[in-house]
Amino acid sequence: MSRLVNDETAYQSIFEELHQHPELSLHEYETTAKIRDWLQEQSITLRETSLPTGVFAEISGDPNGPAVGLRADIDALPIHEQTDLPYKSRNEGVMHACGHDFHTTALLWAAALLKQNQANLPGTVRLIFQPAEETGHGGLKVVKDGQLKGLDTVIGIHNKPDLPVGTIGVKTGPLMAACDKFKITFHGIGGHAAIPERTRDPIVAASSFVQTAQTIVSRNISPKHEAVVSITSIHGGDVWNVLPGEVELLGTVRTFYDQDRDLIIDRFAEIADGLQKACNVQIAVEWGQGTPSVFNDEKITRIVREANENEVQVVTPEVSVAGDDFSCFQREVPGVFAFVGSNGPEDWHHPAFHVDPEGIRIAAEFYYRSAVAVLKALKDSNVH
C-alpha cells in the first residue's frame, strides 16, 4: 500500500507542490498529470475521459451498492501572489487564491483513506477532480463528459477562511449564489444638448432604469430571500454639449432561488419595455446566464451533518454571494456542498489569500466520513 495513507507530511508536500505550480482554468495539464500519478501510485482505477484536463477515478467496495461522487476543483486564478509563504507560486501571475490546491490535496488524502478501506465500502466512490471552476465552464464539461452517470449523490467542499480549522459549515437549501451578468443598451437619437426636442435621450432612460431596477430586490423579492442587483458600469456621451445616441449599462445579479432569478429576468424585461414607451428609445437587454445557485439536498445534508457532528464542530454557515459551479452537478443528482474552516487572513481571490494547511486533514476526513455514511444510508434505504 501507498506511503500516502497515513503520512501527514506527504500531504503537506503535495499541497506545497500544487501551490507552487498553479495553472489557469482549462490549462491544468501538469496538475492533471500529477493527480493521475498520485492516484496510480495507490492503484486507484482511473476513468476514461475526453477532457484534456481533470481526473476521474473510482474506488469500489460493493459494486452493487450505491455510488457517491466526491468533487474537488483544481484550477487557479490570474492573480500575482503577494504572500511570504516559502512555497509561494512559481508561475508568475497565476495563484491558487481560492484554495483549490487545498481541495485537491484533501481529496487525494480521502482517496487514500477510501482505498485502504475499499473492501468495507458499501458501494462506489467516484473521485472527481474538476477543471475550470473559476471560469464557470468546467462543471458542465464534466457533466457532458458523462462523469456523473450512475451516481446517486455528490459531495463537494470549499475552504472557508472565516471559519476556524476544525469547523465544517453545512446547511440545507441555498448556500452559494447563482451568478448572472447583464448588458443593457439604450438606443436613442443623439443631437445638440440645447435642442433636446430633436433627440431621443438615452441618458434619461438609462437613469430611470437604474432607479427602477433597484426596487426589484426591495419590492418584488421576498424579504426572507437574499438577492443582489448591482449596476456596475454606465457609459454614454463624451462632451458637455452633445446628447449621445447610445448608453450602455453593465451589472450582475445574484440569487439563491430559481424563482427569484426568473422573476428578476422578467422584471428587467418589463421595466425595459415600459421605458421604451415612456422615453421613446429602444432598449436591448442581454443576459449572460452564469452558474445556478448551490442548493443542498435536505436528506443528504442531514446524513452528512450527523456523520460529522461528533467528530468536528459542525455549524450552519451564512450563505455566500459568491458562486461555485458545483451547482451544475446538483442539477444532475442531489448533493451537498460544505464549507471547511481554513482560517485565513484574507477572503477568496485576494493576492494575500492563504489557507491553514492544518485544515486539509479535516477536509479529507470530512470527505471520507461523509462518503461512507451516505453510501451506508442509501444502501440501507435501498434508494439506488
Q: Which is nearer to Zn ion, 196 or 288 (CB)?
A: 288
332 is in an annotated binding site: no
Q: Which is nearer to Zn ion, 97 or 377 (CB)?
A: 97
The Cα–Cα gap between 52 and 73 comes to 15
Least gap, CB of 274 to Zn ion (angstroms): 37
The Cα–Cα gap between 114 and 342 comes to 23
Residues 177-216 that bind Zn ion (CB under 5 A): none
192 is in an annotated binding site: no
The Cα–Cα gap between 373 and 350 comes to 35
The Cα–Cα gap between 341 and 161 comes to 6
β-bridge pairing 246-255 and 45-46: unpaired
Least gap, CB of 26 to Zn ion (angstroms): 15
Q: Which is nearer to Zn ion, 98 or 340 (CB)?
A: 98
Q: Which is nearer to Zn ion, 98 or 157 (CB)?
A: 98
100 is in an annotated binding site: yes
Helices (H), 117-257: 138-144, 202-215
Residue span binding Zn ion (CB under 5 A) among the ranges 7-15, 95-103, 120-128, 369-377: 95-103
| Angle at the Cα of 26 from the Cα atoms of 25 and 28, rounded to 5 degrees | 85
Question: Helix or strand or coil: residue 249?
Answer: strand
Query: Is the separation of the CB atoms in 133 and 23 below 8 Å?
Result: no
Q: Which is nearer to Zn ion, 98 or 264 (CB)?
A: 98
Residue span binding Zn ion (CB under 5 A) among the ranges 90-98, 160-168, 204-212, 222-230: 90-98
Work out whether 98 is an interface residue with Zn ion (CB under 5 A): yes
Q: Which is nearer to Zn ion, 71 or 115 (CB)?
A: 71
Residues 6+ apart with CB under 8 A from 298: 172, 173
The Cα–Cα gap between 251 and 225 comes to 20
Least gap, CB of 103 to Zn ion (angstroms): 8
Q: Following DSSP, what letter does each residue of 63-126 receive, concatenated?
A: TTS-EEEEEEE--BBS-------TT---STT-B--S-HHHHHHHHHHHHHHHHHTGGG-SSEEE
Sign of CA dihedral 355, 106, 27, 16: positive
Residue span binding Zn ion (CB under 5 A) among the ranges 93-101, 196-204, 271-279, 334-342: 93-101
Q: Which is nearer to Zn ion, 98 or 373 (CB)?
A: 98
Q: Which is nearer to Zn ion, 68 or 98 (CB)?
A: 98
Query: Is the separation of the CB atoms in 186 and 355 below 8 Å?
Result: no
349 is in an annotated binding site: yes
Q: Which is nearer to Zn ion, 79 or 98 (CB)?
A: 98
Q: Hey, what's the cell of 278?
A: 415612456
Residue span binding Zn ion (CB under 5 A) among the ranges 98-106, 201-209, 216-224, 326-334: 98-106
Least gap, CB of 23 to Zn ion (angstroms): 14
Residue span binding Zn ion (CB under 5 A) among the ranges 63-71, 97-105, 185-193, 336-344: 97-105
Least gap, CB of 324 to Zn ion (angstroms): 6
Query: Is the separation of the CB atoms in 168 and 315 below 8 Å?
Result: yes
Least gap, CB of 176 to Zn ion (angstroms): 10
Least gap, CB of 159 to Zn ion (angstroms): 8
Residue span binding Zn ion (CB under 5 A) among the ranges 84-92, 96-104, 144-152, 338-346: 96-104
Q: Hey, what's the cell of 247?
A: 448608453
Question: Per this entry, what is the length of the chain?
Answer: 384
Least gap, CB of 349 to Zn ion (angstroms): 6
Query: Which contiguous run of DSSP H or E holds residue 328?
Result: helix 326-330
The Cα–Cα gap between 384 and 382 comes to 6
Closest residue to Zn ion: CB criterion: 98
218 Cα distance to chain centroid: 26
279 is in an annotated binding site: no
Instruction: State the number of binding residues for Zn ion (CB under 5 A).
Output: 1
Binding site: what residues are annotated? 98, 100, 134, 158, 349
The residue ranges that bind Zn ion (CB under 5 A) are: 98
Binding site for Mn(2+): what residues are annotated? 98, 100, 134, 158, 349
